Amino acid sequence: MSSEQDHLKETDTEARFEFKKEERSAVRSEKGLTEEVIRMISEDKDEPEWMLERRLRALKQYHAMPLPTDWPGQPDLTELDIEEIVPYIRPDVDKREGVDDWDELPDDIKDTFEQLGIPEAERNALSGVGAQYESEVVYQNMQEQWEEKGVVFMNMDRAVKEHPEIVKEHFMTTCVPPSDNKFAALHGAVWSGGSFVYVPEDVTVEMPVQAYFRMNSEGMGQFEHTLIVAEPGSEVHYIEGCSAPKYGKHNLHSGGVEVFVKEGAHVQYSTVQNWSKNTYNLNTKRALVDADGTMEWISGSMGSKATMLYPCSILKGRGATDTHITIAFAGEGQNIDTGAKVYHNAPNTKSTIESKSISKDGGRTNYRGLVHIADGAEGSSTAVECDALMFDNESTSDTMPYMEIEESKVDVAHEATVGKIGDEDIFYLQSRGLDDDDAKKMIVAGFIEPITEELPIEYAVELNRLIELEMEGSLG
């Protein structure tokens, strides 16, 4: 491919994420976090009283909890003024519950997701797809073959009304309670949109389901909630994509993810996040895994001013398994603090964590992880591998793995490497006919291969392309 064709492709890819639309909302809340704002959100959604009560309890917990400020090397949150964030914007669409016919969407919203490739992805690779714009899911569709087997895939606002017993039992109770941290409490108070996935016993959803979250407005917060319940022996792969255009004001993304992996079930949760570099990305994601269940977290974090994201699995049943494969990329002015947490609370449980990070132009990446093996969890094993790649002397990469081992009959392994792209590697590839840029791209592509090979081909290609753009400074 010629350099001109390369440039055109880069420009097209950049345009997919950096475009923005003029805000056109039906309802827009006031800035800040007050009881009046929470009541307005709940009333606008016509929620049951029990959900409003949970929101108000979470709001009290939020105001009582401090921001995390004393973690070694954590991103600086002092510029984030949550009282200046607009927590709720309902886009101007005809149907509050979203539509299942793409043509029913307003042209500006439809154009946004078409530029992001959502309809094409739905046709080619997905069992179902949901699209959230600002604070609401505007489109949701599930293939009939899965609906006939009892699979439910809908937005959380509908699920609160149509599946109240399941939601009431699982929503921010035992998995991610608002008391977990300040941003979980914030999320519990102002959550809006997100996905509800329910897979009946022994049903395997053979193609992935996807949700895409788009922030279009300046100075807003997006707080989608994802709840996945996989009954015994079931299997599902959920893919999440995220993006926002670049603005002068800060945006906040503080989503919540709760996954319930019942006995012998298998859930894979894949994320490709490409937030703009004015966005604070502060999420809480957790899975509860029963006996012989398997949870897989696959995540790529690019963009954002600061990210604090540590997907967590609690292995509560004998023989439960957990896998984390993560990649983070930080460029100039970015601090990407990511990792994984695993709690081995039962015998013969197993976890594997593989972390890859890349930093350039003074960016900072950090792996922050925790593995806890409880007393009595004999026969359990864990393996943690952290690899960091730096492009220059100005960039920073750290690993902070914490191990809490309370049982002696276990197998624990940890390995960490940090290094720069070596001149000898570049020279070798140049001697084979590659120029300097292509040589670096090839090295990075090999470095991140463990995550890309776990994604469907469409998403692996996109992830590689995003990293190439970040390497060239094309998105900032």
pLDDT in tens, 39-73: 999 999 999 999 999 999 999 999 999 888 778 88
170 is a domain residue = yes
pLDDT, residue 170, reads 98
Listed residues 262, 292, 309: the one ending a domain:
309
406 is a domain residue = no
437 is a domain residue = yes
User: Is 14 exposed, middle or buried (CB count within 10 Å of its CB: 0-12, 13-18, 19+)?
Assistant: middle
In the predicted model, what is the mean pLDDT of the chain? Answer: 80
Min mean pLDDT across 78-87, 158-167, 376-385 is at 78-87
The Cα angle at residue 331 between residues 394 and 218, in degrees rounded to 5: 140
Give CA 167 to chain center in angstroms: 21
Measured torsion, CA atoms of residues 333, 310, 298, 315, in degrees rounded to the nearest 10: 170
In angstroms, what CA-CA distances link 388 with 199, 447, 471?
Answer: 37, 9, 15
User: Is 52 exposed, middle or buried (CB count within 10 Å of its CB: 0-12, 13-18, 19+)?
Assistant: middle
pLDDT, residue 136, reads 54
Q: 3-state secondary structure string, 296-362?
A: EEEEEEEECCEEEECCEEEECCCCCEEEEEEEEEECCCCEEEEEEEEEECCCCCEEEEEEEEEECCC
Domain check: are 291 and 433 in the same one? Answer: no
Domain check: are 431 and 292 in the same one? Answer: no
pLDDT band for position 272 (50/70/90)?
confident
Averaged pLDDT, 287-316: 93
pLDDT band for position 123 (50/70/90)?
very low
Domain check: are 304 and 427 in the same one? Answer: no
434 is a domain residue = yes
Task: State yes or no: pLDDT of 1 exceeds 50.
Answer: no
285 is a domain residue = yes
Task: State yes or no: pLDDT of 387 exceeds 70.
Answer: yes
14 is a domain residue = yes
Higher pLDDT, 141 or 13: 141
Higher pLDDT, 189 or 440: 189
Number of domains in the chain: 2
Averaged pLDDT, 390-413: 91
Domain check: are 74 and 201 in the same one? Answer: yes
Higher pLDDT, 400 or 420: 400
Min mean pLDDT across 131-145, 185-199, 238-252, 383-397 is at 131-145
Burial 33-45 (b: 16+ CB within 10 A, else e): beeebbebbbebb
pLDDT band for position 445 (50/70/90)?
confident
pLDDT, residue 7, reads 46
Min mean pLDDT across 81-90, 285-294, 340-349, 452-461 is at 452-461
Averaged pLDDT, 100-114: 54
336 is a domain residue = no
Range of the domain at 36: 3-309
Task: State yes or no: pLDDT of 428 exceeds 70.
Answer: no
pLDDT band for position 378 (50/70/90)?
very high
Domain check: are 302 and 448 in the same one? Answer: no
pLDDT, residue 475, reads 39
Q: Which residues pair with 346 in a beta bridge?
A: none
pLDDT, residue 361, reads 86
Task: State yes or no: pLDDT of 266 exceeds 90.
Answer: yes
Q: Which residues pair with 90 in a beta bridge?
A: 27
CB atoms < 10 A from the CB of 446, how many?
9
Task: State yes or no: pLDDT of 155 exceeds 90.
Answer: no
Cβ neighbors of 245 (< 8 A, separation 6 or more) are 17, 18, 19, 20, 215, 216, 276
Listed residues 282, 309, 336: the one ending a domain:
309
User: At which residue do the structure tokens 């069992």 appear?
Assistant: 127
Phi, psi angles (nearest 5°) of residue 172: 50, 45
pLDDT, residue 461, reads 64
Averaged pLDDT, 111-136: 50
CA atoms within 13 A on the CB side of 200: 8
Query: Which range is most confident: 96-110, 207-221, 368-382, 427-441?
Result: 368-382
In angstroms, what CA-CA distances link 359 with 47, 93, 241?
Answer: 44, 41, 22
Averaged pLDDT, 212-233: 81
Task: State yes or no: pLDDT of 128 exceeds 90.
Answer: no
Residues of the chain with pLDDT > 70, as a percent, come to 72
403 is a domain residue = no
Token code pair at residue 156: 């959380």
Query: Which range is most confident: 69-83, 129-143, 151-165, 438-452?
Result: 151-165
Averaged pLDDT, 245-266: 84
Q: 3-state secondary structure string, the chain?
A: CCHHHHHHHHHHHHHHHHCCCCCCEEEECCCCCCHHHHHHHHHHHCCCHHHHHHHHHHHHHHHHCCCCCCCCCCCCCCCCCHHHCECCEEECCCCCCCECCHHHCCHHHHHHHHHCCHHHHHHHHCCEEEEEECCEEEEEEECHHHHCCCCEEEEHHHHHHHCHHHHHHHCCCCCCCHHHCHHHHHHHHHCCCCEEEEECCCCECCCCEEEEEECCCCCEEECCEEEEEECCCCEEEEEEEEECCCCCCCEEECCEEEEEECCCCEEEEEEEEEECCCEEEECEEEEEECCCCEEEEEEEEEECCEEEECCEEEECCCCCEEEEEEEEEECCCCEEEEEEEEEECCCCCEEEEEEEEEECCCCEEEEEEEEEECCCCCCCEEEEEEEEEECCCCCEEEEEEEEEECCCCCEEEEEEEEEECCHHHHHHHHHCCCCHHHHHHHHHHHHCHHHHCCCCHHHHHHHHHHHHHHHCCCCC
Task: State yes or no: pLDDT of 388 exceeds 70.
Answer: yes
Give the model confidence (pLDDT) of 2-32 as tens digits: 444 444 444 444 444 454 444 445 677 788 8
Q: pTM (2 decimals)? A: 0.84
pLDDT band for position 444 (50/70/90)?
confident
Task: State yes or no: pLDDT of 322 exceeds 80.
Answer: yes
pLDDT, residue 251, reads 83
Listed residues 309, 344, 374: the one ending a domain:
309
pLDDT, residue 294, reads 98
Phi, psi angles (nearest 5°) of residue 47: -80, 155
Burial 422-435 (b: 16+ CB within 10 A, else e): eeeebeebeeeeee
Min mean pLDDT across 96-110, 192-206, 309-323 is at 96-110
Averaged pLDDT, 380-403: 89
